[in-house]
Each structure stands twice: as structure tokens, then as C-alpha cells.
Amino acid sequence: MFCIKKTALAVLALGSSAAFAGTMGPACTPGNVTVPCTTSGWDVGIYALYLEPSYNGHPRFFNYVGSDFVGAQRVHTKLNTDFDWGFKLEASYHFSTGNDINVNWYHWDTTTSQNLHYFGEISGAEVFFTPFQIDHKWDAVNFEFGQHVDFGEFKNIRFHGGAQYARLQHKIYSPYTINIPSAGFVVDPDTGNIVLSPAETEIGANRIDLTFRGVGPRVGADMSYDWPNGFAIYANGAAALLIGDNKVNDTSDIEPNRATHTSIVPELEAKLGLTYTYAMGQGNLTLDGGYMVANYWNAFHVVQAGQDGSTDFGVHGPYLGLKYIGAL
């Protein structure tokens, strides 16, 4: 009797397990991974960029433009890095089953300028920069070979590989006037009399040009989710490893110097955006807008007597553009 009960319990347990397994819902059916049919076409695009530079290196050269005392506290003056306009141009040739060759050029160039005045509470000296001016420049040319892959009905990814050429520049020009007050009473070496030392004025300029030019491999992926009404949301990413010359050309009136060396600069970029595509009789017109970030690690190097260091260089900001896609 005891064995019969054990057998019955085992049968009930198996039956309940089978019933439980059957309540998990229908099995997931994965979508098809496909490439487009053979076609050929071309596209051209133009974008307006509104970007701000970013640095993280030596405070004197990249993040701040001096400091002053407010009471007992030293206050640093932030480098003026406003947003400014740039552009992107691109052109592509589409062929075969979702392949394309794309060339695009980013250009951004801005000048920031501010008049500065510092007062030394202990020495009494005054320093005037009129102005403290910095030119920020970024050029990047990308050559991409892409492959479009569809993941089901709405999702697609464009994988691409190629190369990037980049030119980065950080140029400082800051004429200055230093007013040094009298040091007090001193002994005149010629007469031996005690006299009041005269005040002094020093005039000069800082001129520092930091440049990096490099080229290297670049890979990335453009991921998109498409809706039937022409809208799509996307997230794009790319990474490059650039090899090139890092130059310092300092022709300042005090301690000028020059240096050049070869460096490896990693680069990473990302975009989030939204597109709307309007179907026309002879092609498609796409409105594209979003936010982008690009960063170059250890892009600039500083070499001065008693001063050295490096900094990353990055840009970030919104963009808006139009692209026309035509068939051949």
C-alpha cells in the first residue's frame, strides 16, 4: 500500500510539472536577419553643428585662465568655452546588397576671448590680459565602408570600418601688461642715498600653438529603430586609434620653446538622434537631428620650463541636417 502511494505521488508530481511547463506561454520566434536586395544609389548631406569644446588637462593652459584672491580664498577664472557653429558634409555611394562607401568631413572652428585683470594682494602687482584669446579648431575626415543589416521589420544596424584623419589645434594669444609697484626704500648704489624705488611696467605676450595631426583605423555601428510613418530613432557609435605628430610651438616673450613627438591618440564618438524621411518622386529627403559627443584622449601636450602636462580634447552639442538619397 505504501509503495502504491509513493507511485501515485510521483505520477502527480510529474503531471503537475508538465502542467506548469505548459503555462510558460508560446515560444519566442526570432526575427529574420537579412540584407537588402541588390540596388545602387547615392546620397549627399549637409549638417549644422553647434558645439562646445572640453578639456581636462593642465589648469593653466586648458581649464582656467588664472586666479585671484577673494579675501583668504583663491578663486580660479574658468576658461570661456562657448558653443559655436560648425558643419558636416557627407556623400555616399550605395551598391550591392546593402553596401556603401561614405566620406564625411567635420569642421569646427571658434575663437574665445576675454579681458582679464588680476591683483596680487601681497605684492600689489597688477596683471592685465587684453585680451586672453584662444582659437579652438577641429577637423575630422572619415572614410567608411558600410554594410546594412536588417534585424526583423523595424530594427537595422549599419556596421562600418575604415579610417579617420584628424587635425586638432589649441592656440593661445594673450598680450599682457604687468604693473609692479614700488618695492619701498632702497639704497642708491651710485650715491649711497636712501631713495624710493620706482614702479615698473612689463609688457609682453604669450603665444602658444598646440597641434595634433593623426590618421588611423576606425570602426563603428549605426543602430536604428524605424517606424512605419517615416520616423526613426537611432544611436550611433564609433572608435578610432590615431597615430600622428603632436607639436608644441611656443613663441612667447618669456621662455619660448618648441617640441615634436609621435603619439597615439584614441578617439570615441557617440550620437543620439531622430530622423524623418519624406518619400519623393525621384528619391528620399531625410531630416536628421540629435546630440553628439566626440573625445580625443591625450590630444595636446605642454612643454615649458617647470611646466608639463597633457589634456584630452572633446566637443559636444546638438546638430541638425538634411540628406538627399537618390537611386541610380
Q: DSSP readout, 38-86? A: S--EEEEEEEEEEEEEEE-S-IIIIIEEEEEEETTEEEEEEP----EEE
Q: What percent of the chain has pLDDT over 70?
A: 77
**29 phi, psi to nearest 5 deg:** -105, 110
- Residue 213 in grid coordinates: 595631426
Neighbours of 278 (CB within 10 A): 10
pLDDT of 58 reads 61
pLDDT confidence bin for 123, thresholds 50/70/90: low
CB-facing half-sphere around the CA of 320: CA atoms within 13 A: 2
pLDDT of 195 reads 67
pLDDT above 70 for 70? no
- Whole-prediction pTM value? 0.81
- Average pLDDT in the chain: 83
What are the domain boundaries of the chain? 34-327
The CATH number that domain 34-327 falls under is: 2.40.128.90
* Angle, vertex CA 182, rays to CA 177 and CA 188, nearest 5: 125
pLDDT above 90 for 40? yes
Which of the 8 DSSP states describes residue 19? H
How does pLDDT run across 212-242, given as a tens digit for each residue? 999 999 999 999 999 989 999 999 999 999 9
3-state secondary structure of 11: helix
If phi over 0 gives left and psi between -120 and 50 gives alpha, with beta otherwise, what is residue 102? beta
pLDDT of 202 reads 82
pLDDT of 4 reads 39
Beta bridge partners of 313: 55, 296
- Per the CB < 8 A criterion, the answer to whether 127 and 64 are in contact is no
pLDDT above 70 for 153? yes
pLDDT above 70 for 6? no
pLDDT of 93 reads 98
Q: Residue type at 216?
A: G
